Structure 1
Amino acid sequence: MLGLTLREEFQGRRLKGTAIELANENKTGATQIGAAKFLDITYPTADVVAAMEAIGPGHGQPVVLIGERGQGKSHLLAALYHGFNNPDVTSGWLKGWGVRLGQPKLGEIELRPKTHVISESLHRQNYKFLWDLVFDRHPHGSYIKGKWEAQGDKRTDIPGDKLLVELFQHTPTALVLDEFQTWYDGLTNTKQFPWRVWAFNFIQILSEIAKEHPELLVLVVSVRNGETEAYQQIHRVNPRQIDFKGPNARRDRLRLLLHRLFANRSQVPEQQIEATIAAHVSEHLRLAEAAPADHQRVRVDFVEAWPFAPHLMTLLEDQVLVATQAQETRDLIRILADVFKSRDVNSPIITAADFRLDDDKSGIAALLDSVSNQHHASLREKAQRNLSAVLAAVKDPAQNVPHLADIVGALWLRSLAINNTGAEPAELHVDITRSKPVDDNFFSAELSTIVENSFNIHQDGSRLVFREEENPQAKLIANARNDRLFGDGPDKLNDRQQLAREVRYVIGGTESAARAFRVVVLGANWTDEPWSGVEEVDLPAHWDDRIPLLVVPEPPDRVDARLGIWLKERLQRHRNAVRFLLPRDASENLFYDRDLLVLARAVLLAERWKTHNPEYSKLHTKYQRELRGILKRRFDRFAILATWNFQSPSQCTFHIESHRAEGAQIPESVDGLVSKNLFVSEDFDALVLAAAQQNESVGRLLRELQEPRPGGEDCIPWLGETLMKEKLVKICARGEIAINLRGMEYLQVRGGEDEETAWRRMRGKLGTGKHLDETYVLLPQAVPHSEGVLPPQQPEVPTRNDGAGGRLPLWPQPPGADGIPGPSVGAGPGPISTPPGGSIFGGGGATTTVRQLSTAGATSALNLLGKVESWGITPGTQVEDIQLKVANLTGAQLNDLLKKLPDGITYELTLHKEDR
């Protein structure tokens, strides 16, 4: 710092006391050391000069120093002592300062010739009565004391003025009394011991002698204020008052401080100081928005206060040390000496930011010792915890909050102020500015980070202030930003699960959405561990008939390929039933978006803490509303499978559509778009008709619809079990299929029934669960009636008159057309009736109906069992002429089939064998 050096007494590790003692047992008091040595640490303030003039020859006034403790009264009394006792040295000191300050009148001040001095710090209580001090220290004191005591019955309670005048005529004296008020106020004042009254009368006599015989006695006393009884008698004689409150008192005190602290402060050139602090001063003028007319004055103030910033000196003197137990100048010297020793060697100026909470040597210990205020100490502990909280919460503090300790220290110091408590952001910005400016945007971001992660910083209008009580919002956010509190460990809070819960609520939280859709938020690593962190009830093994809406945490690259591979590797069934909800392009992964995580953490913590403080209930509502407001707009697209390629899933294709909905409206909006734009009714109808030809169960049909169609065919979007069953029943109501309800009832269009009437009659009858596996779809002509299977409708045949009043076909009819059954057509079951007697050629006996039943084509063994059951064949039903046709078998399969044929029955076997 330009070679600036502290005085020797401030350089040690343990700072010596700065209090001035007039005398002590160690002979190191201010009046016991050489005049030159003492005056070397004395600056000629206006008060010092005024006091020196007041004690000169020809001045007939007592001198009274008025000021609270620590303002420099004792120091000034010691300077006056040396002025009386060593006038030559003191005159030389005044002349030297006159040259240095360019004030030659200082050297012209006339001092008394060497005068006997009696000085005492009365608070030491070495003397019970003031006259004892005078008699004890005056060369002629013993004689006058004896003369007073020899008066016998005529002796007065206190020495009279004649005796005192005689005393001072013998040896003119300067009586210098420090802490006069403290001594006086401690005197007893009763009828038995009226010592205060005696002291009051004695000081009155001394004051009058000093006024009337200034050549004999100069009276100099110090008091804390001018309102006490101790001062009243002196005040009657119109003393010369030194009150440390003159127009230049502040500037004088500043110069006194700097002179007292530093051995060579006056030797540092002002030009070098200006260059050193130029950046700081420039930023101060800019941020304080100082008027151009004030710029030069401000620059002068900075140079005069250097190495301390004038705004720091004002803060300490007018706001922190005022109205406390601090002894102003005395304690301020100790504080400033400490902070100077702890400064950064490259720091061009000392500001409030140099009072670092992480370093007790930075003047804070001296400050707390000086003010003796528990509030200040408690607030310091709070600020230290806030400092630790920010360090714990912020990643890479050196990069993101490099001025953390400076800002927190400056804010703490400014929060001790009596008025204008706390600091404007601009003031903190100036405090941390050293040799180069700090970027405004960077500072704003850094300050915001500190405030958000501190829980004792309150916003008071535009000012920030540390307070002992916690700021619920700041504490909540500070903890929410602390990454160490959250994670997957047993002692951690799971912020990702909370975020997933919020997403599920935002999208599927309404009653209607919850009934129809299952919203599942995939994990952060959704491509490799999609079910990590997903609640047990939402895993695929527990899916019910609700449509799965899978929320993808980040926008996939190459959507078709990524989702196709994901379906093959991460989902084993219901691949055609799921719908993917995708976030906006360029969005960050949901679980790595720090802003969203912090909000989710705030919601989680506020929920836990609201039972202890109702303020957290309000914050819970606030941050949950903010988080949900962001989430409901985050997912703007959906994807649904279009074509499937199991062998090469990267070749799968998806329909990707914008749903233009927010929050809870998304599921129904997506469902509406799928139903209206992507569901092709003709494809569904064709699939159902094919199933009817195979007599498939409804349960199997629905399960097949939830899986992709093979062979690159367009997938039929799954609309949910309820809607799919409704569409199935509507096909039945159009007469295109019939439905066998578990062998108990057949759903089929009745004669003369329109589609709407049939739909109202049939809807809601399919059932659910296992019943669907016992319900089959079939063609209408395969429905059995009371006399067999309903025969297919025959076309109307033209006829001619047979000449006998009857009608004959216009042309010959095929067998069976005239009522006589012909051979059965293999593809369609039809009845063959025999006349009475059991023969088509006549005979008696009951009529027997024989039906030929066959499948429409090759199918699986499971389907054959279903067909047999649908044909009404029970264990007791007699069947005959069974033909089972198998296209091809291996020898092993044939042997296995023959082994399972029942015993006691004969079989014929015909096959074609390949010879090689």
Structure 2
Amino acid sequence: MLGLNLRQEFRGRRLKGTAIELSNEANTGATQIAAKDFLEITYPTHDLLKGIEAVGPNQGRPVVVIGERGLGKSHLMAALFHAVNDAASTGAWLKNWSTTLGDPHVGDIKLRDGMLVIGESLHRQRYKFLWDLLFEQHPHGAYIKGKWEGMGAAKTDIPSDQLILELLRHKPVMLLLDEFQTWYDGLTNTKQYPWKHWAFNFIQILSEIAKEHPELLVLVVSVRNGETDAYQQIHRVNPVQIDFKAGGSPERIQHDRRRMLLHRLFENRLQITSSSIEAALARHISEYFRLLSTPAAEQDRKQRDFVESWPFAPHLLQLLEDQVLVATDAQETRDLIRILANLFKSRGDQAPVLTAADFRMDDDASGIGALLDSVANQQHRTLRDKALRNLTSVTEAVSDHASKVPHLQEIVGALWLRSIAVGNLAGAEPAVLQADITQSKPIDDNAFQVELATIIENSFNIHQDGARLVFKEEENPQAKVMASARNDKLFTDGSDLAQLARETRYVIGGSEEVARTFRVIALPRTWLNDPWSGLDEAEQPERWDERLPILVLPEEPDRLSERLGRWLKDHLQKRRNTVRFLLPRAGTTNAFYDRDLLILARAEMKAQEWGVQNPEYRKLQTKYQNELRDILKKRFDRFAVLHRWNFTEPTKCEFHVETLREQGAKIPDAIEQTLINDVFVPEDFEALVLEAAGDNAPVGKLLRELQEPRPAGQDCIPWLGEIAMKERLVRMCARGKVAINLRGMEYLQAQAGEDEDAAWKRLRPKLAYTGRQLDEIFLLPPSAVPSSGGSAPPVVAPGDLPAGGLFGGGATPTPTANPGEALPYPPSGPGSEQQAPGGGIFGGTSPGSRTTLSNPATSPLNLIGKLEGWGIGPATPVREVTLKVTAATGAQLKELLKKLPDGMTFELSLDKESN
């Protein structure tokens, strides 16, 4: 970076501490090395020059250096030590800086010479009393100490001012007491050990001597603040205060501190020309002005700040000084030097200017380690851990992240650093982050916005605070959910695919009404070659019931008829004509490869999982679920059903493809309406039924045939479901085209002269059989069945039935017929009248005419259906009710009697068989 070199002490792998000690046992303290060597790393700040002038000749006031830890109090006091102890070297140093700064006043500062300089860092606790320091290090100290201790009864608790003056007249002294407040505050002050009281009195003596006899004593004391009692005692004599405020001008303070920092860090910073720096910074500065909309009137001043702060951006230094370090227990300049030294060592050769973006989250050497050591704040360490996890989350969630988020490290590092600032200054606006990562070439605004959005979406601790983005310790629920949803490694078990299939199935067939009629199955992404292995057992074809199957395809097949024909042959062995294929819109990709759909399905899953503990996640679950379902509702716009089947060459199969205008749960009914109105050909169905009736075929066989494709390339008749198909059969009966033999107990056909609608109403409830019962029900031509309004009396063989039934009355004979003859059917339905039997278990007769209705022996469920068919409702009065049970056991009879309703009387008669 333009040949800029760190000082030797900062180049090692392990950075040495920057704390200044006046002296130490290794003789490497600031006052123990040569003045020239120490002053080489010292910049003449306003405070330092003020201090040198205050300890010069003809000055008569004590000097108090006030400032918290790390501001540079010890460094300043060491410089004052050398200014008096080695006036020649200090004078040469001042002359040199006078030329460099172009300020003659610096070279004209007068220096005191010929004084003994005693300096001590009191926090080392090597002296219990201040007079011990004087007595030990002053050449006349032992004599004065002996004189004081030999006073006998006249000896005072502390040496008197006369003794100290006698000492100083022998050899004038400059006394520097560093960390005086730390030492003083640690003293005990009991009746037995009133050491703090003694120190209070002795410092008063020293401060008064320094004021009244400045030629004998120059007193310099450093304290952290002006609240200590020890300082108050010095304050009484109106000392010179050095408080690191550079005369009260904020601009001068900043100017001084930054020059001091750079001089302390680099050995040749002043040798780098301003023109070279401006050229290196040109791109960054211009983008900074553009992105932050810097007014033209401010640009010259800002540019000077950039040049003066180089190699660090002024906004970085301001961030560290005014926001980060102020918010912590950091030791200001001392820690700032360590942080910046590490940052330059790590990134100085890679960037023309160092910004907040150069603090790399995963690299302690980039300055973060020094920063965290300085702040000693667990919250910031925790926040860094969170940021690191967010960094990992982005890299795991974004495939090819190196190209899609090329500035990931820089953005996360800059945002973290800006997020540990104080108060409402925490965080950064996007424009600031873009300026942070801009180096030698500009970054496209749109590309940056996309990159930043990607990082935010896949991080879960980034919060939006007004216009600012900020890292926070608490998780951003939405960001956490979406970050997890984008992490493919969390869903290697395929749970997201299953969730998407569930939502697809729910959107199409989730309502209770739809589920009663339709079986909606969302085929997996491997639908073409392996459709069933990943589905629940209940969705396997062998488990299908009478509901109409709607197979939802995840993608639009190419060469639709060829694909679906081969699919039916390979993957469905029966009921091939019952299937409806629901197709997505043209141009859509496989739903299980559509990342947007998968992300929403994953987000819904994670929000549901975490919503058990946090209601915020339950709200997000609803949000993502609604978004996903809205997309899925609009995804499908067509369906396909088989038109012509070719078993030997399934690729030649043909399909009807019909358009859908309904969405979501309305799709199944829309499919059926389209099939009934546009695809189903009633004439084809009637021709097939008439052919079956001519063969006396069972209804069950006919229905099974309808569920399979028609052979020999015939047009398939769409399967509308068992109920719909049976209703069409009954409708043909009502029109007199066919008759139906109900298991030999009843015949369904239109009666002579009967209106079709009346016949339909009469016959419709009678074909309530299902399953294997339909194999016992046969289709017949209507000519094979008597068509009169009444019925032939049943032919009963003697002894076929017992003389009496369980509930009284005669036995109901079973109809018989000669082989090849049509069976007569018993009276049933409205209009079949005969005289009621004379009495039974349910009471006597009622006067007047009545219609007698009866039904052959069948199950209770079928009898209930008969009641409905006869028009007998809950309030319909009935008389002469007789139930006949041909045979029963005692247990069955007892159980039957228990279930008879209360409030009624019953008559019982039966034939008991002997063993």
**TM category, shorter:** 0.7 to 0.9
Contact 2:750 2:787 in 1 (8 A): no
Q: 2:378 aligns with which of 367, 374, 377?
A: 374
Q: 1:256 and 1:282 mapped to 2: Cα distance?
A: 27
Contact 1:86 1:114 in 2 (8 A): no
What residue number does 1:167 align with?
Answer: 167
What residue number does 1:741 align with?
Answer: 742
Contact 1:781 1:789 in 2 (8 A): no
Q: 1:434 and 1:524 mapped to 2: Cα distance?
A: 46
Shift of 1:278: 2.4
Q: 2:191 and 2:718 mapped to 1: Cα distance?
A: 112
Deviations 1:198-236 (A, max 9, x none): 222222222222222222222111110112212111111
Indicate the RMSD between aligned Cα atoms, in angstroms: 2.4
Shift of 1:524: 0.4
Q: How does 1:242-253 map to 2 (within 5 A)?
A: 242-246=242-246, 247=249, 248-253=252-257
Paired amino acid for 2:257: R
Shift of 1:786: 9.9
Q: 2:443 aligns with which of 438, 443, 450?
A: 438
Paired amino acid for 1:745: E
Which secondary structure does the structure 2 equivalent of 1:485 belong to?
helix
Q: 1:626 and 1:788 mapped to 2: Cα distance?
A: 64
Contact 1:738 1:779 in 2 (8 A): yes
Q: How does 1:270-669 map to 2 (within 5 A)?
A: 270-343=274-347, 345-419=349-423, 420-487=425-492, 492=493, 494-669=495-670
Paired amino acid for 1:75: H
TM-score relative to the length of structure 1: 0.83
Q: 2:301 and 2:692 mapped to 1: Cα distance?
A: 98
Q: 2:818 and 2:210 mapped to 1: Cα distance?
A: 154
Contact 2:751 2:789 in 1 (8 A): no
Paired amino acid for 1:477: M
Unaligned runs of 5+ in 1: 791-848, 855-916
Paired amino acid for 1:297: R
Q: 2:584 and 2:254 mapped to 1: Cα distance?
A: 65
Contact 1:353 1:409 in 2 (8 A): yes
Shift of 1:21: 0.6
Deviations 1:416-454 (A, max 9, x none): 222222333333322222222233333333333333333
Which secondary structure does the structure 1 equivalent of 2:765 belong to?
coil
Which secondary structure does the structure 1 equivalent of 2:77 belong to?
helix
Contact 1:698 1:773 in 2 (8 A): yes
Deviations 1:701-751 (A, max 9, x none): 222222233344333222111111111211111111111112221111012
What residue number does 1:754 align with?
Answer: 755
Higher deviation after alignment, 504-513 or 694-703: 694-703
Shift of 1:759: 0.5
Q: 2:819 and 2:507 mapped to 1: Cα distance?
A: 61
What residue number does 2:784 align with?
Answer: 782
Q: 1:545 and 1:263 mapped to 2: Cα distance?
A: 90
Shift of 1:146: 3.4
Q: 2:355 and 2:91 mapped to 1: Cα distance?
A: 38
What residue number does 1:807 align with?
Answer: none
Q: 1:787 and 1:427 mapped to 2: Cα distance?
A: 96
Is residue 82 from structure 1 mapped to residue 87 from structure 2 by the alignment?
no
Contact 1:189 1:195 in 2 (8 A): yes
Shift of 1:82: 0.8
Deviations 1:856-914 (A, max 9, x none): xxxxxxxxxxxxxxxxxxxxxxxxxxxxxxxxxxxxxxxxxxxxxxxxxxxxxxxxxxx
Shift of 1:853: 7.9
Q: How does 1:846-857 map to 2 (within 5 A)?
A: none
Higher deviation after alignment, 43-52 or 201-210: 201-210
Q: 1:288 and 1:734 mapped to 2: Cα distance?
A: 86
Deviations 1:95-136 (A, max 9, x none): 111211222221121212342211111111121111221222
Q: 1:704 and 1:789 mapped to 2: Cα distance?
A: 33
Shift of 1:245: 1.8
Contact 1:783 1:789 in 2 (8 A): no
Q: 1:109 and 1:787 mapped to 2: Cα distance?
A: 139
Cα 1:110–1:75, aligned 2, differ >3 Å: closer, same or farther?
same
Cα 1:851–1:741, aligned 2, differ >3 Å: closer, same or farther?
closer
Higher deviation after alignment, 169-178 or 581-590: 169-178
Which secondary structure does the structure 2 equivalent of 1:529 belong to?
coil
Which secondary structure does the structure 2 equivalent of 1:118 belong to?
strand
Q: 2:253 and 2:403 mapped to 1: Cα distance?
A: 45
Shift of 1:94: 1.3
Cα 1:689–1:104, aligned 2, differ >3 Å: closer, same or farther?
same
What residue number does 2:854 align with?
Answer: none
Which secondary structure does the structure 2 equivalent of 1:191 belong to?
coil
Q: 1:726 and 1:786 mapped to 2: Cα distance?
A: 24
Q: 2:632 and 2:205 mapped to 1: Cα distance?
A: 89
Which secondary structure does the structure 2 equivalent of 1:674 belong to?
helix
Q: 2:765 and 2:469 mapped to 1: Cα distance?
A: 67
Which secondary structure does the structure 2 equivalent of 1:576 belong to?
helix
Deviations 1:485-522 (A, max 9, x none): 223xxxx3521111101110111000111011111111
Q: 1:776 and 1:283 mapped to 2: Cα distance?
A: 89
What residue number does 1:772 align with?
Answer: 774
Higher deviation after alignment, 226-235 or 556-565: 556-565
Which secondary structure does the structure 1 equivalent of 2:23 belong to?
coil
Shift of 1:344: 6.2
Contact 1:283 1:437 in 2 (8 A): yes
Q: 1:721 and 1:298 mapped to 2: Cα distance?
A: 84
Paired amino acid for 2:710: R
What residue number does 2:677 align with?
Answer: 676
Identity in percent? 64
Shift of 1:586: 1.5
- Number of aligned residues: 792
Paired amino acid for 1:126: R
What residue number does 1:3 align with?
Answer: 3
Q: 1:719 and 1:853 mapped to 2: Cα distance?
A: 34
Is residue 37 from structure 1 mapped to residue 42 from structure 2 by the alignment?
no
Cα 1:787–1:579, aligned 2, differ >3 Å: closer, same or farther?
closer
Q: 1:850 and 1:443 mapped to 2: Cα distance?
A: 93
Higher deviation after alignment, 286-295 or 732-741: 286-295
Q: 1:746 and 1:325 mapped to 2: Cα distance?
A: 100
Deviations 1:668-691 (A, max 9, x none): 122222222222222222222222
